[in-house]
Amino acid sequence: MDLEFTASEHAFREEARAWLAAHVPARPLPSLETAEGFAAHREWERVLYDGGWSVVSWPRAYGGRDATLTEWLIFEEEYYAAQAPGRVSQNGINLLAPTLFAHGDEEQLARVLPPMASGETIWAQAWSEPEAGSDLASLRSRAERTERHGGGWLLSGQKTWSSRAAFADRAFGLFRTDREQERHRGLSYLMFPLDAEGVTVRPIGRLDGKPAFAELFLDQVFVPDADVIGEVGQGWRAAMSTAGNERGVTLRSPGRFTASADRLIHLWRSRQEPADSRDRVADAWIRARAYQLAGYAAASADPAGSASGSGSRPGGSGTSVASADSSPGAGGTASPFASSMNKVFWSELDIDLHETALDLLGPGTSEVTEGLPESAWMDGWIFALAGPVYAGTNEIQRDIVAERVLGLPRGR
């Protein structure tokens, strides 16, 4: 057991650090939840792509550099330490791409992934519906068979809380292709353009008013067969592999939290190290470090795995949930439900860390003060607030931990 990076891992870190130092914009980009900021962040994705850093863990054929999970962790550490911009492509890279690697065909990979890697196509997710939030299996939007245009599906219904949809190009989600089947049977995983005929996008403002998500009204939106991922009627399985990913380390990499914890300590020092905040500041660092070490352990347990497919490379086993979710505990049980533990852990850490920062900043700075140094903490806090809710509420995650990790009786 060790914590020593290999020579090549070390070189990878140095390369990433140097590149980021040279390329990260000196001034923060405008918020990616605005039209202007969205465009600026799309440009940044292109810069990343040109440098070979937009999707490090993907195969080279699709724009990546075949990085291992450990290297991906290193890249993320450097990325957040450099205070590089948020990733406007993250829905595509973190949610759709792993599903494609696990369930897509060669044609789809070749067609979808490169423009995703370059920022040419930005993806929105379209999971929730008004009556199907945490209870995703109850969704009602349907895809009806059509033989027009060479065969495909007509999407109708309503999606909501579709993040990035206000400005994105395309979206992916689950639709009911077999109305006879209930719950998670008869669902299919489809991709569709947001500018297609029949799509109405109504932006929804989040707490700070910015349109971070949208409602989608779909009326007979045509999707060709080529844009069904995996088998028709098997969408739930594909979606669950994505859901596992969303909760796991790949959506919220440890580097994000170690960088924030380091900044928190810096903030605490700049405020003359108030002793009444010491416990909370130290605790944030401890938890971020724990998450980082858990990530190293997970990467060590699966040294061949890339971050892209959560262990399932193209043509891999397809058991992506199980391998993505190897236990974070270095000595621990390899539980397929560790992603639920991860999700609870990082989402609660994220809020506590930002609350501590806001309390250190004091009054007036619980206000969004754009352009002032404090604004990053307020933005981060708003972002963190969503953590315990989305990608399966923490209540559901704790149920999963209790029932599937600990083996407690199913609830009623």
Q: Which of another protein, a second copy, none does residue 344 bind to, with CB < 5 to 8 Å depending on kind?
A: another protein
Judged by CB under 8 A, the chain residues 279 through 308 that form the site for a second copy are 279
Per the DSSP assignment, residues forming a β-bridge with 203 are 214
At closest approach, how far in Å is the CB of 274 from a second copy? 7
How far apart (Å, rounded) are the C-alpha atoms in residues 83 and 25? Answer: 9
Cβ contact 396:405 at 8 Å: no
Q: Which of 1, 106, 148, 180 binds another protein (CB under 8 A)?
A: 1
Cβ contact 163:213 at 8 Å: yes
Cβ contact 341:134 at 8 Å: no
The residue with tokens 């450099």 is: 82
List own/partner pairs for 44-50 with CB under 8 A and 24 or more apart.
Answer: 44/85, 44/88, 44/119, 45/87, 45/88, 45/89, 45/118, 45/119, 45/122, 46/118, 46/119, 46/120, 47/23, 48/119, 49/117, 49/118, 49/119
Q: Which of a second copy, another protein, none does residue 21 bind to, with CB < 5 to 8 Å depending on kind?
A: none
Amino acid residing at 406: L
How far apart (Å, rounded) are the C-alpha atoms in residues 36 and 29? Answer: 9
Judged by CB under 8 A, the chain residues 116 through 135 that form the site for a second copy are none
Judged by CB under 8 A, the chain residues 283 through 342 that form the site for another protein are 283, 285-287, 289-291, 293-294, 296-297, 299-301, 303, 327-332, 338, 341
At closest approach, how far in Å is the CB of 99 from another protein? 22
| Sequential DSSP letters for 340-358 | HHHHHHHHHHHHHHHHHHH
Q: Which of another protein, a second copy, none does residue 26 bind to, with CB < 5 to 8 Å depending on kind?
A: none
Q: Which of 61, 219, 278, 367 binds a second copy (CB under 8 A)?
A: 278
Is 410 a binding residue for a second copy by CB under 8 A? The answer is no
Q: Which of 25, 151, 205, 315 binds another protein (CB under 8 A)?
A: 205
Query: How does DSSP classify residue 406?
Result: S
Cβ contact 223:152 at 8 Å: yes
Is 278 a binding residue for another protein by CB under 8 A? The answer is yes
At closest approach, how far in Å is the CB of 144 from another protein? 26
Six-digit token pair at 223? 């999707």
Is 275 a binding residue for a second copy by CB under 8 A? The answer is yes
Residue 228 main-chain phi, psi, to 5 deg: -90, 130
- Count interface residues toward another protein (CB under 8 A): 102
Here's the x/- map for a second copy, 159-198, by CB under 8 A: it reads as: ----------------------------------------
Is 45 part of the annotated catalytic residue set?
Answer: no
At closest approach, how far in Å is the CB of 43 from another protein? 25
At closest approach, how far in Å is the CB of 405 from another protein? 6
Give the active site residue among 71, 76, 77, 246.
246
Six-digit token pair at 98? 């792993």
Q: Which of another protein, a second copy, none does residue 3 bind to, with CB < 5 to 8 Å depending on kind?
A: another protein
Question: Which one of 25-33, 91-99, 257-265, 271-279 is the stretch in contact with a second copy (CB under 8 A)?
Answer: 271-279
Rg of the chain (C-alpha set): 21
Nearer to another protein, 118 or 260 (CB): 260
How far apart (Å, rounded) are the C-alpha atoms in residues 403 and 412? Answer: 12
Q: Which of 9, 15, 66, 120 binds another protein (CB under 8 A)?
A: 9
Question: Which one of 29-37, 54-62, 234-242, 395-403 is the stretch in contact with another protein (CB under 8 A)?
Answer: 395-403
Which residues of the shown chain bind a second copy in the complex (CB under 8 A)? 274-276, 278-279, 412
Annotated catalytic sites, by residue? 246
